[in-house]
Amino acid sequence: MIKKAYYFLPLCAAVVLGFPSVANAQFSESAGPGTTQDDPFIVEADENGDFVFTDAGNGFWWDPPFASAFDYEILSPGSLFTMVGLPIGINPDGELFDVIVNGDIVDSVPGGSSYTFAGNGVESFRIGNISNVDVDPSISNPFPTQLFFNNPTGNNFKMSPVIAGTSVPEPSSLATIFIGATLCAVIRRRQS
C-alpha cells in the first residue's frame, strides 16, 4: 500500500519539479522526486552560495552542485539532524566519507551507508573527504544526501559547499601582504 505524504517544498525544488510557485505537493513514500539517490531534489544556491530548505520532511535525498565537502546547519529552533545517508559511487575505490561534528571526525562511513548522530542529534555537521572532485558537471546528481530529523516535518536547514582549493586569506595574511607592498614602495622610492 502506498501511503501519501505531504511536504512543503523549498522554492528551488518547487520550480525544478514544475510547480509554478511554492506550494504543498503530494508525493508517495515509495516513488517520486527526492525518494532515491538516483532521483533526488535538485537544488540551487541562494545569493550567498548556500542551499536553504524550508519545512523539509524526513528521509528525502537532496542534491546540490558538487563540492569537496558540505556543511549542514539547522535553521529552525528545536530541530536536529538525527541521521545522514551517503551516496554510492562518488568516492573511487570505496574511500570513506568523513562525518565531522564540532570540527572533530566522529566517523568515516562508506557510500551507501548512513550515520546516526549521538544522543538526540546535532544542529550542524560536515561531510568531508568527497574525493571525486573532477565529476562531470553534466551528471544530474553528483552528491545527493539523505537527511533525517528529530521532527517529521517543519525542518529548516542550509547546506554550504566547501570548494577544494578556494580559501579566503586570513587577516594576518592580508596584513603581511600590505606591509610587504609598503616596504617595497619605500625601498623603490629611496633608490630613485
Q: pLDDT band at 149, cuts 50/70/90?
A: very high
d(CA 32, CA 47): 28
CA 107-113-118 angle, 5° bins:
45
Q: Which of 77, 71, 31 is nearest to 52 (CA)?
A: 71
In sequence order, the 6+-apart residues with CB closer than 8 A to the CB of 42 are: 12, 13, 16, 63, 140, 141
Q: Are 146 and 85 in contact (CB under 8 A)?
A: yes
pLDDT the model gives residue 154: 82
Share of the chain above pLDDT 90, in %: 22
Q: What DSSP designation does 113 have?
A: -
Question: In terms of residues, how long is the chain?
Answer: 192
Average of per-residue pLDDT values in the chain:
69
For the stretch 9-25, pLDDT in tens is: 333 333 333 333 222 23
pLDDT the model gives residue 145: 84
User: Between the ranges 18-22, 50-54, 68-72, 168-172, where is the mean pLDDT highest?
Assistant: 68-72
Is the pLDDT assigned to residue 102 strictly greater than 80? yes
Domain-by-domain residue ranges, the chain? Answer: 4-191
Q: pLDDT band at 52, cuts 50/70/90?
A: confident
For the stretch 79-89, pLDDT in tens is: 999 999 988 87
